[in-house]
Amino acid sequence: MDDIAQRCISIIAKAKNIPADTITLDTTFEELNVDSLDKINISFEVEEAFEIAIPDDALGSLKTVGDVVRGVEQLVATKAS
């Protein structure tokens, strides 16, 4: 798993106070019991960690950990280019 994925999982694990090794890219927010407040919280931490801005309309479409990682990868790539 690449660095971005590891860091995203670590942020989500910390936000939900669960071990990082229980989370994979296929884990859904529903399985993690991530509510709307958790989602905002996790987004904030991810934005701070990667110095990116997640658009409002992207938040609603995030269903899995993998969605978060792919979104971050895109935003980081956009920032770099």
Partner 1 sequence: MNRVVVTGLGCITPIGSSVSAFRDALFTGGSGISPIVNVPDAPDGNPGVRYTQAAQVFDFDPTEHLESGVITATNRNTQFAIVAARQASEQSGLLNHHNAGDIAVIMGCACGGRSSEESEVKNLYTRNARAHPLTIVRTMSSAGASNISIDLKITGPTLDISTACASATHAIGLAFHMVRSGMVTAALTGGHEAPLSWGFYRAWDSMRVVSPSKCRPFAADRDGMTLGEGAAMLVIETLESAMARNAPIYAEVVGFGMSADANHITQPQAHGASAAMRKALADAQAAPEEVGYINAHGTGTQANDATEAAAIHQVFGERTAHIPISSTKALHGHSIGASGALEALATTVALHEGRLPQTAGVSNPDTSLNLDIITGEPRPTGPTLALSNSLAFGGLNAVIALRTWRNPG
Positions that interact with partner 1 (CB under 8 A): 15-17, 37-38, 40-41, 43-44, 47-48
Residue 2 CB, shortest distance to partner 1, in Å, is 26
Decide whether 17 or 61 has the Cβ nearer to partner 1. Answer: 17
Residue 54 CB, shortest distance to partner 1, in Å, is 12
Decide whether 1 or 18 has the Cβ nearer to partner 1. Answer: 18
Q: From the CB of residue 54, how many other CB atoms can be counted at a distance below 10 Å?
A: 18
Identify whether the C-beta of residue 46 lies closer than 8 Å to the C-beta of residue 72: yes
Identify whether the C-beta of residue 53 lies closer than 8 Å to the C-beta of residue 42: no
